[in-house]
Amino acid sequence: MQDNWYTGYVTRIVQETHNTRRFWIQIRELERFDYKPGQFVTLDLPIHEEKKKRWRSYSIASAPDGTNEFELVIVLLEGGAGTTYLFNEVGVGTEIPVKGPLGVFTLPQVLDRHLFLICTGTGVAPFRAMAHHIHTHQIPHQAIHLIYGCRKECDLLYAQELWQLERELEGFRYSPTLSRCEDGWTGKKGYVHLIYEELLGVSKEPAYFFLCGWKNMIDEAKGRILGMGYDRHDIHQELYG
């Protein structure tokens, strides 16, 4: 685990949806910022005197590409000191102390089972990194199901990119599902749980489950997956909030 602090430079910011932004951060003191897809970084933000109350952790949304730059996608939390600072005070050129990479929410060395990547909101970030990494390096794999829950279509992150990846990456299925969909939405409706249960209801394939999002979703998914007869060691999680 990497415990070094670096100086991160914000090189680009894009408003992705009404309440999410993409931040590109460069670590100029390194030629390469090496990490595994699924890992996260911790930012030290000037929002509190006590250092641990200044720290905010975010999954890296980009696949490692051999450069010293990476991407984060961050949702503005109402009343959240960290995201309020990032949205209101940070611009291109802002310096932010960065620690990482951190975390063990990473792919198995051998992808010898079906892979279920189940997420809500910005929890799609590590799965975007994983899917692109598998595609770029042509890593042998079984079926990959990215099951992504949001309220409305306008909340979906990286939608066009993930539809394109479904066309290009063999065995990759992108399943966005909306809990408050509007007229015209022809995709899946409801919550993520119905999707993986339906996929696994026909034949219970050996699988790895990766869960990323809010606690309620993760707790319910774990219960349902265990209820289908899978082992707790098949389940990996990254909690948000």
Q: How far is CA 139 from CA 31, 63, 110, 192, in A?
A: 25, 14, 9, 26
In CATH, the architecture of 114-240 is 3-Layer(aba) Sandwich (3.40)
In CATH, the architecture of 5-102 is Beta Barrel (2.40)
> Half-sphere exposure of residue 183, counting CA atoms within 13 Å on the CB side?
0
Give the integer Cα–Cα distance in Å for 75 and 16: 10
Mean pLDDT of the region 30-42: 97
Task: Quick: pLDDT tens for 211-234.
Answer: 999 899 999 999 999 999 999 999
pLDDT confidence of residue 1: 45
**Which residue ranges make up each domain of the chain?**
5-102, 114-240
Percent of the chain clearing pLDDT 90 (strictly above): 88
Task: Quick: pLDDT tens for 112-171.
Answer: 999 999 999 999 999 999 999 999 999 999 999 999 999 999 999 999 999 999 999 999
Mean pLDDT of the region 9-31: 97
